[in-house]
Amino acid sequence: MSLRRIAGEERRLLLAGLAEGYGFDEGALERYETLESGDEVWAVAPAVIGLPLQKLHVDSVGILLVRGKTPTVAALQLFARPNGDAITLNGEGAFTFIERKPVAVDADDGVHVAFHGGVALDLGYARAWRLTRIKAPRE
């Protein structure tokens, strides 16, 4: 596995994009280093950088933030905070959303982070005042 440290301006742009697009708390991510492996971005504790990472599985020492261009559910739940594009669902709406059924919402068309009780659930796509979970749950 090839790992590359994301630092400097590239890291600043990555964190700013996660904050602006998905409501990530940049302050919470400042205490982590960021590593890239293929199309994945990982957050790891600074002490991990000194370890022989090429011999370790990065998932044993870090948190997967992004796969492809999409934040993971774990990263959303740990680091996302409601922002202007966030949608807050009640209990029934949250359950419906998790089941990948459309939920009536008052939101512009596009991608939004769905929250319940202040915690991110996952990404949803709103269209015609209906929000549907983007990712299918694993079977």
**Residues whose CB falls within 8 Å of the CB of residue 96, separated by 6 or more in sequence, listed in order:** 102, 103
Q: Is 24 exposed, middle or buried (0-12, 13-18, 19+ CB in 10 A)?
A: buried
β-bridge partners, 71: 66
pLDDT at 56 over 80: no
Delineate the domains of the chain, giving CATH numbers in brackets: 4-79 (3.10.450), 87-133 (2.30.130.10)
Q: Where are the alpha helices (DSSP H) in 2-138?
A: 8-22, 26-29, 73-79, 91-98
pLDDT at 115 over 70: yes
Dihedral sign for Cα atoms in the order 105, 128, 66, 24 = negative
β-bridge partners, 26: none
67 touches 39 (CB < 8 A): yes
Neighbours of 121 (CB within 10 A): 22
Residues 94-119, mean pLDDT to the nearest whole number: 95
pLDDT, tens digit, for every residue of 17-45? 999 999 999 888 888 999 998 899 999 98
**Residues whose CB falls within 8 Å of the CB of residue 5, separated by 6 or more in sequence, listed in order:** 33, 34, 35, 36, 49
pLDDT tier for residue 137 given thresholds of 50, 70 and 90? very low
CA-angle at 53, arms to 47 and 59, nearest 5°: 85
